[in-house]
Structure 1
Amino acid sequence: MTDRYAQYERFAFDRPSPGVLRVTMKSPLKLGAMDPRMHLEVSEIWRDLDVDDSVNVIVFTGDGKTFSAGGDLNHERKVCDDYALRMQTMKEARNLVTNMLDCSKPIITAARGWAVGAGLATLLLADVSIVANDAKLSDGHLKIGVAAGDHAAIIWPLLCGMAKAKYYLLTADTITGEEADRMNLVSMAVPDEEVEARALEIAARLAKGAPAAQRWTKMMLNHWVKQALPIFDASLALEFIGFAGPEGTEGIDAFLQKRSANFNPKTPF
């Protein structure tokens, strides 16, 4: 790889076919959860990929049998109490979304196992999302007492409709890859052992196509999502207000302590 990618500590890079760069997340945490370094890198990598003339198509995947179970809750508990850390994390969360939308190259995600939180955001914001039939997807914000910020408010209604979006974002229920395919949340679900091969097959096909036409088509379609950026900014702000409040701290504490959360039903909102 070129020096362009030497700064990244949480990714492995390889070129499975001409014009295709595969980026593999290498998390030090269980289930591919994102430590602070990985969260930063996932928010920034898209800029470097966008300006790399040797790359026509990106395949973004997890290591082994998992994609990413989202942010490290031990770190997010610190976010609740530290204003500077909270603002930095919010900035990274915004950059993850906007940088993926602004990356001109087609992005294909290949997901096995868990995709939660920021991991799910990365999966669903791709141009083509390939998941295992038995993958487990969840937007878990409501489980830890914060609003469904990140990507959810802008992309879920477009992908699967408002009724399904409201249900799964409010309940934070887990769905399989097969269920996500049926409700149009992802591009396709395939048997677990076929995920990587299918993603690489599609990437190789796109890499042989007309790059300008592909990038213009992606740009046009992404305007549907970008129209909702004011909604995204509001959702992100409300999420991080929640981290600083009693519901966020109680939700994360309960999860870390492996107990049921005790939320106050008489919220001042």
Structure 2
Amino acid sequence: MPAITHDVVDGVGRIVLARPEQSNSFDLPTARDMAQAVSAVSSDDVRAIALTAEGKRFSAGGDVTSFLASDDPAAYLLELATVLEGALRDLAALATPVVAGVRGAVAGAGLAVMLSADVIVASRATKFVMAYPGIGLTPDCGVSYLLPRAVGQQRALDLALTGRVLSADEALDWGLVTTVVDDDAVEARVDEIATGWAASAPHALGQARRLIRSSWDTPGPQQGADESATIAAAVTGDEARRLVEEFTRR
């Protein structure tokens, strides 16, 4: 059984971290499974993506035991980080909105997995930690890129340099997660969001996601031109015509 499972039902692509005995940590095969899962939910019939995990913890990040057990830990870790970062970059680049549900613990590279989603639903008991300082390693898989964009540079440095553990309420206050719910309500809330997206205006939502995520690396004039071209293309589409007509009849 793959360490990452995926399927598509009623327009919702679902990616599930399925390695609970190892706290959904990532070894090289798991990183490759993630790349395959992202590819599988990249089809045009997928209108929303839900990212969740089996077990008590969302993800402990990299599987330290796997690269220490390899003949060449540096080469193994380089490939692992490169494959997983590439998969997450592909996920972030999709014009499809992504919601993640997290619980238990989100550590190290698990933060990058989580931050590849646009809306993050966390259980009240979830803890968030960089984890790298405790084992003498450095951020990987896009954490150093995604985290400061979510919480700001100073708070990202606080997490990176002190080993600070954030509670779910602190993560909500910092802007690291979108909403906090009871532990047994995570999946239901994720499903509600994903199915709602799939049934509403998926093209417009996906393009809004693309525009906002690409804005970090795009000069202002180019971003403005992209916005103008995107909305002009949208207004002639079936989705916009239907929704505009419904709006004008209210």
Q: TM-score, normalised by structure 1?
A: 0.73
Give the SS at the match of 2:200: coil
Q: TM-score, normalised by structure 2?
A: 0.79
Per-residue deviation, 1:223: 1.3
The CA distance in 2 between the partners of 1:99 and 1:224, in whole Å, is: 16
CA contact (8 A) 2:81 2:140 kept: no
Where in structure 1 do 4 or more consecutive aligned residues deviate above 6 Å? none
- 1:147-206, Cα deviation, whole Å (9 max, x unpaired): 223322222222112221110111122212221011111111111111111111111111
Partner of 1:25: 17
Per-residue deviation, 1:110: 0.5
The CA distance in 1 between the partners of 2:80 and 2:55, in whole Å, is: 27
Which residue, 195, 199, 218 being the options, matches 2:190?
Answer: 199
Give the SS at the match of 1:154: helix
Q: Does 1:214 align with 2:205?
A: yes
Which residue, 119, 130, 137 being the options, matches 2:110?
Answer: 119
Per-residue deviation, 1:103: 1.9
Per-residue deviation, 1:18: 2.4
Which residue, 5, 17, 23 being the options, matches 1:12?
Answer: 5
Unmatched segments (≥5 aa) in structure 2:
219-250
Moved more, 160-169 or 74-83: 74-83
Partner of 1:230: none
Partner of 1:108: 99
Per-residue deviation, 1:67: 1.1
- 1:46-97, Cα deviation, whole Å (9 max, x unpaired): 22211x2332111110103321111211113246934542432232133033
Cα RMSD between the aligned structures? 2.2
Partner of 2:56: 65
Unmatched segments (≥5 aa) in structure 1:
1-7, 228-269
User: How many equivalent residue pairs?
Assistant: 218
Share of identical aligned residues, percent? 26
- How do 1:1-269 and structure 2 match up within 5 A? 9-14=2-7, 18-27=10-19, 29-50=21-42, 52-78=43-69, 81-226=72-217
Distance of aligned partners of 1:34 and 1:84 in 2 relative to their CA distance in 1, 3 Å threshold: closer
